[in-house]
Amino acid sequence: MTPPETIQDVRSHPFFKDLPEQVVEAVLSLAKERDYAEGAWLCREGDPADRFFLILSGTVAVELHAPHTGKRRIQTLGAGDAVGWSWLIPPHRWQFDVFTVRPTRVAEFDAQELRKLCESDHTVGYYVTKRLLEVVSRRLAAARIQLMDMYA
């Protein structure tokens, strides 16, 4: 059982902003709050995407590695951000490495349980998918601006 103050922390995450109360309750019932030390991995490219994270505090870096250019840090995410959508979309494999660059507190969800909830209650499924789509859309827009090399 997650202590009540923990739930409060997670409930105020922007991912839940303006969602219907019963959806928030259902999703929150699966949340586990967890602390990661600096340098811990949340996801590794190619591994099964078995979790979903909402960052409560701290910073994580998203990295991609290529054989010749090595690791490339693409982005950092912090409090208020969501990490990962691969858990929802087959084949459920991470597409990036994500690790903490500072001690980080997250709300963590078991992907299988969350998928099961979304499948069994399509109202929850709809809102979770819609919210994730907003996250994806914002990230895509940011990536496009970044591609323009706008400070050059």
Residues that bind other proteins (CB under 8 A): 14, 59, 61, 71-76, 78-80, 101-102, 142, 145-146, 148-152
Return the number of the residue (19 or 101) whose C-beta is nearest other proteins.
101
Q: Under 8 Å CB-to-CB from 42, ≥6 apart: which residues?
A: 36, 51, 53, 60, 83, 84, 98, 99, 100, 106
Which C-beta is closer to other proteins: that of 113 or that of 142?
A: 142
Nearer to other proteins, 14 or 125 (CB): 14
**Backbone phi and psi for residue 21, each to the nearest 5 degrees, phi listed first:** -55, -40
CB of 118 to other proteins, least distance (A): 26
Nearest distance from residue 97's CB to other proteins, in Å?
12
SS3 57: strand
- Rounded to whole angstroms, the Cα distance separating 66 from 75 reads 16
